[in-house]
Structure 1
Amino acid sequence: MKLISYRRHGSQGFGAVVRGSVIDLAARFPEFADLASLLADEVSLARARRIVAVDAVDFPLETVDLAPVIPRPNKVICVGINYVAHAEEAGRTVGAHPVIFHRYAETLVADGEPLVRPTVSDNFDFEAELAVVIGKGGSHIAPEDAMKHVAGYTCFNDASVRDWQFHTHQYGMGKNFRGTGALGPWLVTSDEIPDYRELTIEGLLNGETMQTGKLSELAFDVPALIAYVSQALDWQPGDILATGTPSGIGFKRKPPIFLTPGDTFEVVIPGVGSLSNTVVDEV
Protein backbone atom coordinates (compact mmCIF):
# COMPACT_ATOMS: atom_id res chain seq x y z
CA MET A 1 0.00 0.00 0.00
CA LYS A 2 0.89 3.63 -0.48
CA LEU A 3 -0.32 5.44 2.64
CA ILE A 4 -0.62 9.20 3.03
CA SER A 5 -1.60 11.82 5.56
CA TYR A 6 -3.42 14.84 4.20
CA ARG A 7 -5.62 17.87 4.76
CA ARG A 8 -8.97 18.12 2.96
CA HIS A 9 -11.84 20.54 3.51
CA GLY A 10 -10.18 21.81 6.66
CA SER A 11 -9.82 18.38 8.24
CA GLN A 12 -6.89 16.05 8.81
CA GLY A 13 -7.10 12.59 7.29
CA PHE A 14 -5.16 9.58 6.16
CA GLY A 15 -5.67 7.11 3.37
CA ALA A 16 -4.26 4.92 0.64
CA VAL A 17 -3.31 6.04 -2.85
CA VAL A 18 -4.68 3.86 -5.64
CA ARG A 19 -4.08 4.85 -9.28
CA GLY A 20 -4.01 8.57 -8.57
CA SER A 21 -6.99 8.55 -6.22
CA VAL A 22 -7.47 8.12 -2.48
CA ILE A 23 -9.31 5.55 -0.39
CA ASP A 24 -10.29 7.39 2.79
CA LEU A 25 -9.04 5.13 5.57
CA ALA A 26 -9.73 7.74 8.26
CA ALA A 27 -13.46 7.38 7.54
CA ARG A 28 -13.26 3.60 7.64
CA PHE A 29 -11.19 3.52 10.84
CA PRO A 30 -12.63 6.33 12.99
CA GLU A 31 -11.12 4.75 16.09
CA PHE A 32 -7.66 5.87 14.94
CA ALA A 33 -6.67 9.51 15.24
CA ASP A 34 -3.91 9.35 12.65
CA LEU A 35 -1.86 7.10 10.41
CA ALA A 36 0.67 6.28 13.14
CA SER A 37 -2.16 4.84 15.25
CA LEU A 38 -3.27 2.61 12.39
CA LEU A 39 0.29 1.39 11.82
CA ALA A 40 0.46 0.31 15.46
CA ASP A 41 -2.48 -2.10 15.07
CA GLU A 42 -1.43 -5.07 12.94
CA VAL A 43 -4.96 -6.50 12.72
CA SER A 44 -6.45 -3.22 11.52
CA LEU A 45 -3.58 -2.68 9.12
CA ALA A 46 -4.26 -6.09 7.58
CA ARG A 47 -7.93 -5.15 7.28
CA ALA A 48 -6.93 -1.89 5.60
CA ARG A 49 -4.91 -3.87 3.08
CA ARG A 50 -7.99 -5.94 2.22
CA ILE A 51 -10.12 -2.79 1.88
CA VAL A 52 -7.61 -1.18 -0.45
CA ALA A 53 -7.65 -4.29 -2.63
CA VAL A 54 -11.41 -4.24 -3.25
CA ASP A 55 -13.03 -0.90 -2.32
CA ALA A 56 -13.82 1.94 -4.70
CA VAL A 57 -11.76 5.10 -4.35
CA ASP A 58 -13.27 8.15 -2.64
CA PHE A 59 -11.69 11.21 -4.26
CA PRO A 60 -8.82 12.24 -6.54
CA LEU A 61 -5.38 12.67 -4.98
CA GLU A 62 -5.20 16.14 -6.48
CA THR A 63 -8.04 17.30 -4.22
CA VAL A 64 -5.99 16.91 -1.04
CA ASP A 65 -3.07 18.82 0.42
CA LEU A 66 -0.44 16.32 1.46
CA ALA A 67 0.99 16.47 4.96
CA PRO A 68 4.30 14.93 5.98
CA VAL A 69 3.47 11.22 5.79
CA ILE A 70 3.62 11.06 9.60
CA PRO A 71 2.70 14.65 10.50
CA ARG A 72 3.85 14.61 14.14
CA PRO A 73 6.21 11.71 14.74
CA ASN A 74 7.20 11.19 18.34
CA LYS A 75 10.82 11.33 17.18
CA VAL A 76 12.89 11.68 14.05
CA ILE A 77 16.23 9.89 14.41
CA CYS A 78 18.82 10.86 11.81
CA VAL A 79 22.09 9.16 10.93
CA GLY A 80 25.18 11.02 9.73
CA ILE A 81 28.17 9.75 7.75
CA ASN A 82 26.42 6.50 6.84
CA TYR A 83 27.67 6.07 3.27
CA VAL A 84 31.40 5.43 2.92
CA ALA A 85 31.70 7.73 -0.12
CA HIS A 86 29.92 10.53 1.75
CA ALA A 87 32.23 10.05 4.72
CA GLU A 88 35.20 10.41 2.39
CA GLU A 89 33.91 13.63 0.80
CA ALA A 90 33.22 15.04 4.28
CA GLY A 91 36.75 14.16 5.40
CA ARG A 92 35.43 11.71 7.97
CA THR A 93 35.77 7.99 8.61
CA VAL A 94 33.02 5.60 9.60
CA GLY A 95 33.42 4.81 13.29
CA ALA A 96 32.50 1.84 15.44
CA HIS A 97 29.09 3.34 16.24
CA PRO A 98 26.60 5.28 14.11
CA VAL A 99 26.50 9.08 14.26
CA ILE A 100 23.05 9.86 15.64
CA PHE A 101 21.30 13.22 15.80
CA HIS A 102 17.69 14.29 16.09
CA ARG A 103 15.13 16.41 14.30
CA TYR A 104 12.01 18.01 15.68
CA ALA A 105 8.64 17.23 14.12
CA GLU A 106 7.88 20.94 13.74
CA THR A 107 10.64 21.23 11.10
CA LEU A 108 8.91 18.83 8.70
CA VAL A 109 7.16 19.77 5.44
CA ALA A 110 5.26 17.68 2.92
CA ASP A 111 5.86 16.85 -0.71
CA GLY A 112 5.00 19.96 -2.72
CA GLU A 113 5.46 22.36 0.19
CA PRO A 114 8.37 24.79 0.02
CA LEU A 115 11.62 24.31 1.84
CA VAL A 116 12.43 27.49 3.73
CA ARG A 117 15.89 29.03 3.43
CA PRO A 118 16.43 30.83 6.73
CA THR A 119 17.08 34.54 7.06
CA VAL A 120 20.31 34.00 8.98
CA SER A 121 22.17 31.89 6.41
CA ASP A 122 22.62 31.25 2.69
CA ASN A 123 24.44 27.93 3.33
CA PHE A 124 21.29 25.89 2.68
CA ASP A 125 22.18 22.40 1.49
CA PHE A 126 20.34 19.26 0.33
CA GLU A 127 20.52 15.67 1.58
CA ALA A 128 18.54 12.94 -0.20
CA GLU A 129 17.71 10.05 2.12
CA LEU A 130 15.59 6.95 2.55
CA ALA A 131 13.46 7.18 5.70
CA VAL A 132 12.16 4.15 7.57
CA VAL A 133 8.79 4.43 9.32
CA ILE A 134 8.41 2.36 12.47
CA GLY A 135 5.20 0.38 12.83
CA LYS A 136 5.82 -1.75 15.91
CA GLY A 137 7.43 -0.13 18.92
CA GLY A 138 9.86 -1.69 21.32
CA SER A 139 13.14 -1.50 23.20
CA HIS A 140 16.27 -3.66 23.29
CA ILE A 141 15.49 -5.03 19.83
CA ALA A 142 17.85 -7.63 18.41
CA PRO A 143 19.16 -6.89 14.90
CA GLU A 144 17.68 -10.14 13.61
CA ASP A 145 14.23 -9.02 14.80
CA ALA A 146 14.48 -5.38 13.76
CA MET A 147 12.78 -5.57 10.36
CA LYS A 148 9.60 -6.82 12.06
CA HIS A 149 9.31 -3.29 13.48
CA VAL A 150 9.34 -1.57 10.06
CA ALA A 151 6.00 -0.38 8.70
CA GLY A 152 7.45 0.94 5.47
CA TYR A 153 9.58 3.49 3.67
CA THR A 154 9.39 7.05 2.43
CA CYS A 155 11.64 9.77 1.00
CA PHE A 156 13.36 12.40 3.10
CA ASN A 157 15.37 15.55 2.42
CA ASP A 158 17.43 16.41 5.49
CA ALA A 159 18.07 19.94 4.21
CA SER A 160 20.81 21.46 6.35
CA VAL A 161 22.00 24.93 7.29
CA ARG A 162 25.71 24.18 7.04
CA ASP A 163 27.33 27.12 8.82
CA TRP A 164 24.98 26.65 11.79
CA GLN A 165 25.59 22.90 11.69
CA PHE A 166 29.26 23.53 12.36
CA HIS A 167 28.93 26.24 14.99
CA THR A 168 29.80 23.47 17.48
CA HIS A 169 30.64 19.76 17.41
CA GLN A 170 26.91 19.02 17.68
CA TYR A 171 24.86 19.05 14.45
CA GLY A 172 21.61 19.98 16.20
CA MET A 173 20.83 23.58 15.25
CA GLY A 174 21.86 23.24 11.61
CA LYS A 175 19.42 20.36 11.25
CA ASN A 176 16.44 21.95 12.98
CA PHE A 177 15.46 25.14 11.24
CA ARG A 178 11.77 25.60 10.56
CA GLY A 179 10.53 24.19 7.25
CA THR A 180 13.72 22.35 6.29
CA GLY A 181 12.91 18.62 6.58
CA ALA A 182 10.82 17.31 3.68
CA LEU A 183 9.11 13.94 4.22
CA GLY A 184 6.89 12.06 1.78
CA PRO A 185 5.01 11.89 -0.45
CA TRP A 186 3.74 8.61 0.97
CA LEU A 187 4.72 5.53 2.92
CA VAL A 188 5.18 2.38 0.87
CA THR A 189 4.46 -0.55 3.18
CA SER A 190 7.28 -3.00 3.80
CA ASP A 191 5.48 -5.92 2.13
CA GLU A 192 5.98 -4.12 -1.19
CA ILE A 193 9.74 -3.71 -0.61
CA PRO A 194 11.08 -7.24 0.00
CA ASP A 195 14.66 -5.99 0.40
CA TYR A 196 15.35 -2.29 0.94
CA ARG A 197 19.02 -2.94 0.10
CA GLU A 198 18.03 -3.30 -3.55
CA LEU A 199 16.79 0.29 -3.65
CA THR A 200 18.69 3.14 -5.26
CA ILE A 201 18.47 6.82 -4.37
CA GLU A 202 19.01 9.97 -6.39
CA GLY A 203 18.95 13.67 -5.49
CA LEU A 204 18.23 16.13 -8.30
CA LEU A 205 18.60 19.91 -8.22
CA ASN A 206 16.52 21.59 -10.92
CA GLY A 207 16.52 18.31 -12.82
CA GLU A 208 20.30 17.77 -12.61
CA THR A 209 21.56 14.75 -10.68
CA MET A 210 23.60 15.79 -7.64
CA GLN A 211 23.54 12.64 -5.53
CA THR A 212 23.30 8.93 -6.29
CA GLY A 213 23.60 5.92 -4.03
CA LYS A 214 22.51 2.39 -3.29
CA LEU A 215 20.97 1.36 0.00
CA SER A 216 23.28 -1.65 -0.03
CA GLU A 217 26.11 0.86 0.59
CA LEU A 218 24.99 1.87 4.08
CA ALA A 219 27.78 1.56 6.61
CA PHE A 220 25.21 0.76 9.32
CA ASP A 221 22.21 -1.06 7.87
CA VAL A 222 18.59 -0.60 8.96
CA PRO A 223 18.51 -3.53 11.42
CA ALA A 224 21.71 -2.33 13.08
CA LEU A 225 20.36 1.21 13.43
CA ILE A 226 17.00 0.12 14.84
CA ALA A 227 18.72 -2.17 17.32
CA TYR A 228 21.30 0.44 18.36
CA VAL A 229 18.79 3.21 19.07
CA SER A 230 16.48 0.78 20.89
CA GLN A 231 19.11 0.25 23.57
CA ALA A 232 18.58 3.87 24.64
CA LEU A 233 15.07 4.83 23.50
CA ASP A 234 11.81 2.98 22.99
CA TRP A 235 10.75 3.05 19.35
CA GLN A 236 7.14 4.22 18.95
CA PRO A 237 4.76 3.60 16.02
CA GLY A 238 5.20 6.39 13.51
CA ASP A 239 8.78 7.20 14.51
CA ILE A 240 11.09 8.09 11.63
CA LEU A 241 14.59 6.74 11.05
CA ALA A 242 16.47 8.74 8.39
CA THR A 243 19.25 6.49 7.14
CA GLY A 244 21.80 9.04 5.90
CA THR A 245 22.72 10.67 2.61
CA PRO A 246 25.02 9.54 -0.22
CA SER A 247 27.87 11.62 -1.63
CA GLY A 248 27.30 14.69 -3.76
CA ILE A 249 26.11 17.20 -1.17
CA GLY A 250 26.39 20.86 -2.10
CA PHE A 251 28.83 22.32 0.38
CA LYS A 252 31.60 19.83 -0.49
CA ARG A 253 31.47 20.74 -4.17
CA LYS A 254 34.03 23.13 -5.67
CA PRO A 255 32.62 25.71 -5.76
CA PRO A 256 29.88 24.90 -3.24
CA ILE A 257 26.31 24.64 -4.50
CA PHE A 258 23.59 25.79 -2.11
CA LEU A 259 19.82 25.91 -2.45
CA THR A 260 18.42 29.30 -3.48
CA PRO A 261 14.86 30.61 -3.86
CA GLY A 262 13.20 29.21 -6.97
CA ASP A 263 15.21 25.98 -6.94
CA THR A 264 13.50 22.60 -6.92
CA PHE A 265 15.07 19.61 -5.21
CA GLU A 266 13.80 16.06 -5.73
CA VAL A 267 14.54 12.87 -3.85
CA VAL A 268 13.87 9.91 -6.14
CA ILE A 269 13.80 6.34 -4.85
CA PRO A 270 12.35 3.98 -7.48
CA GLY A 271 9.84 1.68 -5.86
CA VAL A 272 9.21 4.16 -3.06
CA GLY A 273 8.46 7.50 -4.67
CA SER A 274 9.59 10.98 -5.62
CA LEU A 275 9.65 13.86 -3.14
CA SER A 276 9.76 17.32 -4.72
CA ASN A 277 10.06 20.69 -3.01
CA THR A 278 10.77 24.20 -4.22
CA VAL A 279 12.82 26.64 -2.15
CA VAL A 280 11.65 29.98 -0.78
CA ASP A 281 13.21 32.56 1.52
CA GLU A 282 11.96 32.90 5.07
CA VAL A 283 9.67 35.88 5.50
Structure 2
Amino acid sequence: MKWLTMKKNGAHRLGVQLEEGVLDVEASLASHPADGVPIEPTALLQSGTQGLQALADYVSELRRLGLPKLLAADEIDWAACVPKPGKIICVGLNYRKHADESKLPYPPVPLLFSKYGNTIAGQGADICIPEGTAEVDYEVELGIVIGLKAASVDEQKALDYVHGYCAVNDVSARDWQMRTSQWMLGKTADGFCPIGPYTVTADEVGDPQNLGLRTWVNGELRQNSNTKDMIFSCAEIVSYVSRHMTLEPGDLILTGTPEGVVFGLPPERRVYLKSGDVVSVEIDKLGKLTNRFV
Protein backbone atom coordinates (compact mmCIF):
# COMPACT_ATOMS: atom_id res chain seq x y z
CA MET A 1 0.00 0.00 0.00
CA LYS A 2 1.08 3.55 -0.74
CA TRP A 3 -0.27 6.06 1.75
CA LEU A 4 0.24 9.75 2.41
CA THR A 5 -0.60 12.48 4.89
CA MET A 6 -2.82 15.46 4.09
CA LYS A 7 -3.44 18.64 6.03
CA LYS A 8 -7.18 19.09 6.65
CA ASN A 9 -8.70 21.69 8.96
CA GLY A 10 -5.52 21.97 10.98
CA ALA A 11 -5.12 18.19 11.42
CA HIS A 12 -3.22 15.41 9.70
CA ARG A 13 -5.39 12.97 7.80
CA LEU A 14 -4.71 9.79 5.86
CA GLY A 15 -4.78 9.38 2.11
CA VAL A 16 -4.23 6.24 0.05
CA GLN A 17 -2.65 6.57 -3.38
CA LEU A 18 -4.52 4.41 -5.87
CA GLU A 19 -3.92 4.16 -9.61
CA GLU A 20 -7.00 6.31 -10.20
CA GLY A 21 -6.17 9.02 -7.63
CA VAL A 22 -5.95 9.63 -3.88
CA LEU A 23 -8.58 8.27 -1.50
CA ASP A 24 -9.38 10.67 1.36
CA VAL A 25 -10.00 8.11 4.11
CA GLU A 26 -11.83 10.45 6.50
CA ALA A 27 -14.20 11.75 3.80
CA SER A 28 -14.83 8.23 2.57
CA LEU A 29 -15.66 6.96 6.05
CA ALA A 30 -18.26 9.72 6.40
CA SER A 31 -20.22 8.26 3.49
CA HIS A 32 -19.13 4.63 3.80
CA PRO A 33 -18.64 3.91 7.55
CA ALA A 34 -16.47 1.02 8.74
CA ASP A 35 -15.03 -0.05 12.09
CA GLY A 36 -11.35 -0.05 12.95
CA VAL A 37 -10.11 1.99 10.00
CA PRO A 38 -7.53 4.66 11.02
CA ILE A 39 -8.09 8.18 9.68
CA GLU A 40 -4.73 9.66 10.61
CA PRO A 41 -1.17 8.39 10.13
CA THR A 42 -0.07 8.09 13.75
CA ALA A 43 -3.07 5.88 14.49
CA LEU A 44 -2.25 3.75 11.46
CA LEU A 45 1.35 3.25 12.61
CA GLN A 46 0.37 2.59 16.23
CA SER A 47 -2.22 0.00 15.21
CA GLY A 48 0.38 -2.28 13.63
CA THR A 49 -0.61 -4.99 11.19
CA GLN A 50 -4.22 -4.93 12.41
CA GLY A 51 -4.82 -1.32 11.40
CA LEU A 52 -3.03 -1.75 8.10
CA GLN A 53 -5.12 -4.81 7.28
CA ALA A 54 -8.32 -2.96 8.22
CA LEU A 55 -7.37 -0.14 5.86
CA ALA A 56 -6.52 -2.57 3.05
CA ASP A 57 -9.81 -4.44 3.53
CA TYR A 58 -11.70 -1.14 3.50
CA VAL A 59 -10.11 -0.09 0.22
CA SER A 60 -10.98 -3.47 -1.28
CA GLU A 61 -14.59 -3.12 -0.13
CA LEU A 62 -14.81 0.35 -1.66
CA ARG A 63 -13.60 -1.05 -4.96
CA ARG A 64 -16.36 -3.64 -4.80
CA LEU A 65 -18.98 -1.01 -4.02
CA GLY A 66 -17.58 1.64 -6.33
CA LEU A 67 -14.88 4.11 -5.38
CA PRO A 68 -15.96 7.54 -4.12
CA LYS A 69 -14.62 10.73 -5.68
CA LEU A 70 -10.82 10.63 -5.59
CA LEU A 71 -8.41 13.54 -5.34
CA ALA A 72 -5.75 14.62 -7.80
CA ALA A 73 -2.25 15.47 -6.54
CA ASP A 74 -2.82 19.20 -7.01
CA GLU A 75 -5.93 19.08 -4.81
CA ILE A 76 -3.97 17.86 -1.79
CA ASP A 77 -2.41 20.00 0.91
CA TRP A 78 0.59 17.73 1.38
CA ALA A 79 2.25 17.05 4.73
CA ALA A 80 5.26 14.90 5.57
CA CYS A 81 4.26 11.28 5.01
CA VAL A 82 5.20 10.53 8.65
CA PRO A 83 4.32 13.88 10.23
CA LYS A 84 5.38 13.18 13.82
CA PRO A 85 8.13 10.56 14.06
CA GLY A 86 9.07 9.76 17.63
CA LYS A 87 12.77 9.44 16.79
CA ILE A 88 14.72 10.43 13.68
CA ILE A 89 17.93 8.39 13.59
CA CYS A 90 20.40 8.95 10.79
CA VAL A 91 23.29 6.88 9.48
CA GLY A 92 26.31 8.74 8.13
CA LEU A 93 28.80 7.56 5.52
CA ASN A 94 26.86 4.44 4.60
CA TYR A 95 27.60 4.21 0.86
CA ARG A 96 30.95 3.02 -0.40
CA LYS A 97 31.23 5.48 -3.27
CA HIS A 98 30.17 8.38 -1.03
CA ALA A 99 32.89 7.47 1.47
CA ASP A 100 35.33 7.24 -1.43
CA GLU A 101 34.41 10.69 -2.78
CA SER A 102 34.70 12.11 0.74
CA LYS A 103 38.13 10.45 1.06
CA LEU A 104 37.08 8.82 4.32
CA PRO A 105 37.49 5.19 5.47
CA TYR A 106 34.47 2.91 5.66
CA PRO A 107 33.12 2.96 9.24
CA PRO A 108 33.42 -0.32 11.19
CA VAL A 109 29.92 0.17 12.70
CA PRO A 110 27.00 2.40 11.66
CA LEU A 111 27.79 6.05 12.33
CA LEU A 112 24.65 7.43 14.02
CA PHE A 113 23.35 10.95 14.61
CA SER A 114 19.92 12.51 15.10
CA LYS A 115 17.52 14.94 13.56
CA TYR A 116 14.45 16.31 15.39
CA GLY A 117 10.79 16.98 14.75
CA ASN A 118 11.39 20.60 13.69
CA THR A 119 13.24 19.33 10.61
CA ILE A 120 10.24 17.48 9.17
CA ALA A 121 8.72 18.87 5.96
CA GLY A 122 6.53 17.44 3.24
CA GLN A 123 6.11 17.28 -0.51
CA GLY A 124 6.13 20.74 -2.09
CA ALA A 125 7.14 22.60 1.06
CA ASP A 126 9.55 25.52 0.77
CA ILE A 127 12.79 24.94 2.69
CA CYS A 128 14.31 28.08 4.20
CA ILE A 129 18.07 28.49 3.93
CA PRO A 130 19.02 29.71 7.41
CA GLU A 131 20.84 32.97 7.88
CA GLY A 132 24.53 32.36 8.55
CA THR A 133 25.17 29.30 6.36
CA ALA A 134 26.51 29.37 2.81
CA GLU A 135 26.91 25.62 2.29
CA VAL A 136 23.49 23.93 2.18
CA ASP A 137 23.66 20.52 0.50
CA TYR A 138 21.18 17.83 -0.63
CA GLU A 139 21.28 14.11 0.27
CA VAL A 140 18.82 11.59 -1.13
CA GLU A 141 18.26 8.81 1.41
CA LEU A 142 16.07 5.75 1.88
CA GLY A 143 13.94 6.21 4.99
CA ILE A 144 12.86 3.22 7.08
CA VAL A 145 9.54 3.62 8.92
CA ILE A 146 9.32 1.35 11.96
CA GLY A 147 6.01 -0.50 12.41
CA LEU A 148 6.49 -2.63 15.52
CA LYS A 149 8.29 -2.13 18.83
CA ALA A 150 11.84 -3.42 18.35
CA ALA A 151 14.39 -4.06 21.09
CA SER A 152 17.55 -6.12 20.54
CA VAL A 153 16.22 -7.78 17.39
CA ASP A 154 18.28 -10.20 15.32
CA GLU A 155 19.42 -9.06 11.89
CA GLN A 156 17.62 -12.02 10.27
CA LYS A 157 14.28 -10.81 11.68
CA ALA A 158 14.90 -7.05 11.68
CA LEU A 159 12.88 -6.25 8.56
CA ASP A 160 9.81 -7.87 10.16
CA TYR A 161 9.62 -4.74 12.34
CA VAL A 162 9.53 -2.37 9.36
CA HIS A 163 6.19 -0.84 8.36
CA GLY A 164 7.49 0.67 5.14
CA TYR A 165 9.86 3.03 3.39
CA CYS A 166 9.93 6.60 2.13
CA ALA A 167 12.17 8.98 0.21
CA VAL A 168 14.07 11.54 2.31
CA ASN A 169 16.27 14.55 1.62
CA ASP A 170 18.78 14.82 4.49
CA VAL A 171 19.45 18.54 3.98
CA SER A 172 22.79 19.54 5.50
CA ALA A 173 24.54 22.85 6.19
CA ARG A 174 28.11 21.66 5.67
CA ASP A 175 29.84 24.68 7.20
CA TRP A 176 27.80 24.25 10.39
CA GLN A 177 28.14 20.46 10.28
CA MET A 178 31.94 20.58 10.16
CA ARG A 179 32.33 23.36 12.70
CA THR A 180 32.79 20.78 15.49
CA SER A 181 33.13 17.01 15.74
CA GLN A 182 29.37 16.81 16.41
CA TRP A 183 27.22 17.16 13.28
CA MET A 184 24.01 18.33 14.99
CA LEU A 185 23.99 22.01 13.98
CA GLY A 186 24.39 21.21 10.30
CA LYS A 187 21.57 18.69 10.32
CA THR A 188 18.79 20.13 12.48
CA ALA A 189 17.64 23.46 11.04
CA ASP A 190 13.91 23.86 10.48
CA GLY A 191 12.71 21.92 7.43
CA PHE A 192 15.99 20.06 6.93
CA CYS A 193 14.27 16.65 6.67
CA PRO A 194 11.63 16.66 3.93
CA ILE A 195 10.12 13.18 3.55
CA GLY A 196 7.58 11.69 1.18
CA PRO A 197 5.53 12.03 -0.81
CA TYR A 198 4.40 8.55 0.29
CA THR A 199 5.06 5.83 2.81
CA VAL A 200 5.08 2.58 0.87
CA THR A 201 4.52 -0.58 2.88
CA ALA A 202 7.30 -3.13 3.11
CA ASP A 203 5.39 -5.82 1.21
CA GLU A 204 5.05 -3.53 -1.80
CA VAL A 205 8.69 -2.45 -1.76
CA GLY A 206 10.21 -5.92 -1.47
CA ASP A 207 14.01 -5.98 -1.25
CA PRO A 208 15.20 -2.60 0.11
CA GLN A 209 18.75 -3.39 -1.03
CA ASN A 210 17.94 -3.03 -4.72
CA LEU A 211 16.41 0.42 -5.12
CA GLY A 212 17.67 3.16 -7.40
CA LEU A 213 18.13 6.62 -5.81
CA ARG A 214 18.38 9.89 -7.73
CA THR A 215 18.63 13.64 -7.04
CA TRP A 216 17.97 16.50 -9.43
CA VAL A 217 18.81 20.17 -8.82
CA ASN A 218 16.91 22.46 -11.18
CA GLY A 219 16.43 19.48 -13.49
CA GLU A 220 20.11 18.46 -13.51
CA LEU A 221 20.81 14.90 -12.34
CA ARG A 222 23.30 15.04 -9.45
CA GLN A 223 22.98 11.69 -7.66
CA ASN A 224 22.27 8.37 -9.35
CA SER A 225 23.00 5.22 -7.37
CA ASN A 226 21.46 2.11 -5.84
CA THR A 227 20.96 0.89 -2.28
CA LYS A 228 23.15 -2.10 -3.25
CA ASP A 229 26.09 0.21 -2.50
CA MET A 230 25.21 0.50 1.21
CA ILE A 231 27.95 -0.49 3.63
CA PHE A 232 25.38 -1.56 6.25
CA SER A 233 22.08 -2.99 4.98
CA CYS A 234 18.66 -1.93 6.24
CA ALA A 235 18.43 -5.14 8.29
CA GLU A 236 21.84 -4.54 9.84
CA ILE A 237 20.92 -0.95 10.70
CA VAL A 238 17.57 -1.79 12.32
CA SER A 239 19.16 -4.58 14.35
CA TYR A 240 22.12 -2.40 15.40
CA VAL A 241 19.98 0.56 16.47
CA SER A 242 17.54 -1.70 18.33
CA ARG A 243 20.40 -3.07 20.42
CA HIS A 244 21.13 0.44 21.72
CA MET A 245 17.61 1.88 22.04
CA THR A 246 14.06 0.60 21.71
CA LEU A 247 12.49 1.47 18.38
CA GLU A 248 8.80 2.36 18.40
CA PRO A 249 6.13 2.47 15.68
CA GLY A 250 6.54 5.65 13.68
CA ASP A 251 10.26 6.05 14.34
CA LEU A 252 12.21 7.00 11.23
CA ILE A 253 15.69 5.82 10.25
CA LEU A 254 17.64 7.57 7.48
CA THR A 255 20.07 5.12 5.92
CA GLY A 256 22.69 7.42 4.39
CA THR A 257 23.31 9.05 1.02
CA PRO A 258 25.21 7.87 -2.06
CA GLU A 259 27.85 9.74 -4.01
CA GLY A 260 27.12 12.97 -5.88
CA VAL A 261 26.59 15.50 -3.09
CA VAL A 262 28.15 18.95 -3.38
CA PHE A 263 30.47 18.24 -0.43
CA GLY A 264 32.02 15.34 -2.36
CA LEU A 265 33.29 17.59 -5.14
CA PRO A 266 36.70 19.29 -5.16
CA PRO A 267 36.46 22.62 -3.28
CA GLU A 268 36.78 24.71 -6.45
CA ARG A 269 33.73 22.95 -7.99
CA ARG A 270 31.38 23.13 -5.03
CA VAL A 271 28.25 25.18 -5.77
CA TYR A 272 25.88 24.88 -2.82
CA LEU A 273 22.11 25.38 -2.87
CA LYS A 274 20.80 28.91 -3.16
CA SER A 275 17.42 30.60 -2.96
CA GLY A 276 15.20 29.55 -5.86
CA ASP A 277 16.81 26.14 -6.39
CA VAL A 278 14.38 23.23 -6.78
CA VAL A 279 15.58 19.86 -5.52
CA SER A 280 13.87 16.55 -6.30
CA VAL A 281 14.86 13.23 -4.75
CA GLU A 282 13.42 9.99 -6.09
CA ILE A 283 13.66 6.35 -5.07
CA ASP A 284 12.35 3.41 -7.07
CA LYS A 285 8.81 2.43 -5.97
CA LEU A 286 8.63 5.34 -3.46
CA GLY A 287 7.96 8.32 -5.71
CA LYS A 288 9.59 11.72 -6.19
CA LEU A 289 9.84 14.35 -3.45
CA THR A 290 10.29 17.95 -4.62
CA ASN A 291 11.07 21.06 -2.55
CA ARG A 292 12.09 24.62 -3.36
CA PHE A 293 14.79 26.38 -1.36
CA VAL A 294 14.09 29.97 -0.37
Instruction: Name the TM-score class by shorter chain.
Output: over 0.9
> What is aligned with 1:60?
71
Inter-partner Cα distance in structure 1 for 2:205 and 2:83: 23
Do residues 48 (structure 1) and 55 (structure 2) align? yes
Is contact 1:36–1:135 with CA below 8 Å preserved after alignment?
no
SS of the equivalent of 2:216 reads strand
1:264 to 260, 275, 278: 278
Matches within 5 A, 1:141-152: 141-152=153-164
Shift of 1:63: 2.3
SS of the equivalent of 2:209 reads helix
Q: CA RMSD in A?
A: 1.7
Shift of 1:163: 0.5
Shift of 1:59: 3.8
- Aligned partner of 1:197: which letter? Q
Unpaired segments ≥5 residues, structure 2: 30-34
Unpaired segments ≥5 residues, structure 1: none
Do residues 205 (structure 1) and 217 (structure 2) align? yes
1:116 to 120, 128, 142: 128
1:195 to 200, 207, 215: 207
SS of the equivalent of 2:195 reads strand
Q: TM-score w.r.t. structure 1 length?
A: 0.94
Shift of 1:33: 7.1
Inter-partner Cα distance in structure 2 for 1:174 and 1:262: 20
Shift of 1:40: 3.1
Shift of 1:58: 4.5
* Structure of larger gyration radius: 2
Shift of 1:20: 5.3
Residues matched between the structures, number:
280
> What is aligned with 1:3?
3
Inter-partner Cα distance in structure 2 for 1:173 and 1:185: 26
Shift of 1:34: 3.3
SS of the equivalent of 1:60 reads coil
- Aligned partner of 1:51: which letter? Y
Do residues 181 (structure 1) and 178 (structure 2) align? no
SS of the equivalent of 2:5 reads strand
Is contact 2:23–2:71 with CA below 8 Å preserved after alignment?
no
SS of the equivalent of 2:285 reads coil
- Aligned partner of 1:60: which letter? L
Inter-partner Cα distance in structure 1 for 2:37 and 2:293: 37
Q: More strand per residue: 1 or 2?
A: 1
SS of the equivalent of 2:185 reads helix
Matches within 5 A, 1:8-87: 8-19=8-19, 21-26=21-26, 28=29, 32=38, 34-41=40-47, 42-55=49-62, 56-61=67-72, 62-87=74-99
Q: TM-score w.r.t. structure 2 length?
A: 0.90
1:230 to 242, 265, 272: 242
Do residues 278 (structure 1) and 284 (structure 2) align? no
Shift of 1:99: 0.5
Matches within 5 A, 1:161-172: 161-172=173-184
Shift of 1:30: 7.5
Deviates more, 1:200-209 or 1:30-39: 30-39
Deviates more, 1:40-49 or 1:172-181: 40-49
Inter-partner Cα distance in structure 2 for 1:275 and 1:127: 12
Inter-partner Cα distance in structure 1 for 2:36 and 2:116: 27
- Aligned partner of 1:35: which letter? P
Is contact 2:102–2:263 with CA below 8 Å preserved after alignment?
no
- Aligned partner of 1:262: which letter? G
Is contact 1:83–1:219 with CA below 8 Å preserved after alignment?
yes
Shift of 1:64: 2.1
Shift of 1:194: 1.6
Matched-pair identity in %: 31
Deviates more, 1:211-220 or 1:247-256: 247-256
Is contact 2:163–2:201 with CA below 8 Å preserved after alignment?
yes
